[in-house]
Amino acid sequence: MAAPSILTVFGHPDDESLAAGGVLARHAAAGARTAVVSATWAEDTWRAEELAEAARLLGAEKPRMLGYADAHFEPSAPGCARFCDAPLDEAVGRLVAHIREFRPELILTHDAYGGLTGHADHRHAHRVTVLAAQAAGLAQLYPEAGDPWQPRALYFSTYPHSCVPGFQEIEGGTRTLYTVPDEQVDTACEVGPWMGQKVAAILAHRSEVERGAMPGMVSKMSAELRMRLFGTEYFIRQSLVSEVTSVQSELTF
């Protein structure tokens, strides 16, 4: 079976590489179309340029930007609303247009917590993506956004409780980490063969490396620690179509 096409929707540039870089690289290597949507940062900013390089390293198409400002950094999209403040209907409509244009079989996004950090932009990206994935298949919603297209499933990037000790080791145990019970994770993708591409994509976010954010931490890790923390990508699957028979997780390999 051919690898399904994937569209990722994350809050910021670098989220795609940290949360799903291995899956993106693996599917691209298998001949699948892949693309990345970032909810924040404008196209003419330095982090958009870094995202384009990361996407290239992962074999994905040119990134797509919703064009909103980061909740914590207004210059990320000068003169534009913060993502969390923008009208919900507007944000959903923008994403519907990208879904209908790209026509992915699968969409990957943050879980309801917004991943480990619980960042407000991550949580909002989850909400907007859930609504847009459903709306994209309904012809009477956002008719100006193109012909309807219904993705097959949503995958929510997440972390199980069992990952907490490893991340506390590098975080110093001072920050709340948002994880789910291990039994809620129904898709765990081992991405070891694609770790080289994944790490290169993470480090392509040079401004985040320089300021000491997670890509900066990754830059200082040993290969063994990188594999332990990022060599498995975890997801919770939500079907968007009726399934008469059980469907094996499309991201399992």
What pLDDT, on the 0 to 100 scale, is given for residue 251? 80
User: φ, ψ for residue 23 (rounded to 5)?
Assistant: -65, -45
Residue 66, both tokens: 């919703």
Strands 106-110 and 64-68 turn out to be unpaired
Kindly state whether residue 252 falls inside one of the protein's structural domains. Answer: no
What percent helix, strand, coil does the chain show, rounded to 5?
45, 20, 35
What pLDDT, on the 0 to 100 scale, is given for residue 179? 98
Kindly state whether residue 100 falls inside one of the protein's structural domains. Answer: yes
Strands 232-239 and 153-158 turn out to be antiparallel
Kindly state whether residue 248 falls inside one of the protein's structural domains. Answer: no
Kindly state whether residue 253 falls inside one of the protein's structural domains. Answer: no
- 202-233 pLDDT, tens digit per residue, is 999 999 999 999 999 999 999 999 999 999 99
Kindly state whether residue 1 falls inside one of the protein's structural domains. Answer: no
Q: What percent of the chain has pLDDT over 70?
A: 96
Question: Mean pLDDT of all residues in the chain?
Answer: 95
Kindly state whether residue 211 falls inside one of the protein's structural domains. Answer: yes
What pLDDT, on the 0 to 100 scale, is given for residue 170? 86
Tell me the angle at which helices 195-203 and 15-29 cross, rounded to the nearest 10 degrees: 140
Question: Structural domain tally of the chain?
Answer: 1
Confidence of residue 249 (pLDDT cuts 50, 70, 90): low
CA 167 – CA 192 distance, rounded (Å): 18
Q: How crowded is residue 153: how many other Cβ atoms within 10 Å of its Cβ?
A: 23
Kindly state whether residue 12 falls inside one of the protein's structural domains. Answer: yes
Decide: 56 and 16 in contact? Cβ < 8 Å: no
- 63-107 pLDDT, tens digit per residue, is 999 999 999 999 999 999 999 999 999 999 999 999 999 999 999
Kindly state whether residue 18 falls inside one of the protein's structural domains. Answer: yes
**pTM for the whole thing?**
0.95
CATH number at residue 136: 3.40.50.10320
User: Distance from first CA to last CA of the chain, Å, rounded?
Assistant: 12
Q: Which domain holds residue 94?
A: 6-239
